[in-house]
Amino acid sequence: MRAATLAELKQLVEKVRLAIDTAARLTGAVAEVKVALLYGERYHNQIMSRVFQTNMACLGEEMEWASPVGMYGSSDIGNVSIRLPVIHDYLWIAPAEVNTHHADFTACAASKRADEIVIKAAKGLAMTAFDILDNSSLQGEIDECFKQALGIS
């Protein structure tokens, strides 16, 4: 099951559970419902992302802004982003036309380019962590962006 937000997903789970329980009572069946980890929506911190992208540009990697309403599949980063500011930027190891669920992408993942990107990403993240830890004003901007995204006052 999927929904736009974790709150909506929890409501959907309860509706489906009610339908299953009702069908079980009507038919005399025994229903067993198991709910796995629910994946929440992503709250991508644009301030942190800007710092990361600036650092990646210093390392020779130009990045594009990911669409805040894009469909990116299920990931537990959404669950983390509800609790604290996160980024989930994308660095490309393959041309845009290569499907990530294809053997062609597997080959790209084993390429020299992919190895270089992993090293650059680690450097970029370390630079970003330093920038954030070294700048209380930036920390405030990140916190304000986080609160605004979640509607926290």
Q: How does pLDDT run across 48-68, given as a tens digit for each residue?
A: 999 999 999 999 999 877 666
Per-residue pLDDT of 80-95, as tens digits, reads: 999 999 998 989 999 9
> pLDDT value at position 64?
78
Q: 44 pairs with which residues across the strands?
A: 86
> pLDDT value at position 134?
98
> pLDDT value at position 74?
66
What is the domain partition of the chain in residue ranges?
A: 1-38, 46-150
**What is the C-alpha separation between 33 and 37, in angstroms, rounded?**
13
pLDDT band at 72 (very low <50, low <70, confident <90, very high): low
Average pLDDT, the chain: 92
**What is the C-alpha separation between 44 and 149, in angstroms, rounded?**
8
What does pTM read for this prediction? 0.82
Q: Residue 55 belongs to what H/E stretch?
A: helix 46-58
**What is the C-alpha separation between 52 and 42, in angstroms, rounded?**
17
